[in-house]
Amino acid sequence: MTIGNRISHLRKQNEMTQESLANKLGVSNQAVSKWEADLCCPDIQLLPILADIFNISIDSLFDRPTRKHNIICSSLPWDDDKTLRVVAFIGREIQDFKPIDTSTELKVTYEGDALDIQSCISVHCTNVNGDINAGTYVECGSVRGDITAGAHITCGPINGDVTAGAHIQCGDISGDVTSNAHIECGDIGGDATAGAHIQCNNIGGDTNAGSYIECNNM
What's the pLDDT tens digit per position in 129-181?
A: 889 988 788 998 999 999 999 889 999 999 999 999 899 999 999 999 999 99
pLDDT at 101: 47
Task: Name, in order, each residue with C-beta under 8 angstroms of 53's C-beta and a sequence gap of 6 or more.
Answer: 14, 21, 24, 25
Q: What is the mean pLDDT of the chain?
A: 81
How far is residue 95's CA from residue 83's CA, in Å, rounded to a whole number?
A: 19
Structural domain boundaries enclosing 31: 3-61
Give me the number of domains the chain comprises.
2
**Does residue 90 share a domain with residue 21?**
no
The answer to whether residues 16 and 121 belong to one domain is: no
Q: Does 45 lie in the same domain as 96?
A: no
What percent of the chain has pLDDT above 70? Answer: 76
Instruction: Count the neighbouring beta carbons within 10 Å of the beta carbon of residue 45.
Output: 7
Rounded to 5°, angle at Cα 156 from 152 and 157: 110
pTM: 0.55
- pLDDT reported for residue 172: 96
75: confidence class by pLDDT, cuts 50, 70, 90:
very low
Share of the chain above pLDDT 90, in %: 45
Q: Is 132 within a domain?
A: yes
Note the pLDDT of residue 106. Answer: 58
Q: pLDDT category, 78, cuts 50, 70, 90?
A: low
Backbone phi, psi, residue 50, to 5°:
-60, -45
What are the contacts of 40-46 at 24+ separation with CB within 8 A? 41/3, 41/4, 42/3, 42/7
Task: Provide the CATH number for the domain around residue 47.
Answer: 1.10.260.40
Do 89 and 57 fall within a single domain? Answer: no
Q: What pLDDT digit, counting tens, does each position of 81-122 carry?
A: 666 666 666 565 655 544 444 445 555 666 666 678 877 778
Q: What pairing do the DSSP bridges indicate for beta strands 93-94 and 89-90? A: antiparallel
Whether 37 and 99 share a structural domain: no
User: Residue 70 has what pLDDT?
Assistant: 37
Are 93 and 195 members of one domain?
yes
- DSSP label of 168: E
Q: Is residue 165 part of a domain?
A: yes
Together in a domain, 43 and 118: no
Tell me whether residue 22 is in a domain. Answer: yes
Query: 139 and 209 share a domain?
Result: yes
Q: Can you tell me the mean pLDDT for 196-218?
A: 91
- The type of residue at 12 is K
Averaged pLDDT, 192-204: 94
Q: Are residues 52 and 97 in the same domain?
A: no
Q: Which run of H or of E encompasses 54? A: helix 47-54
The answer on pLDDT for 33 being more than 80 is yes
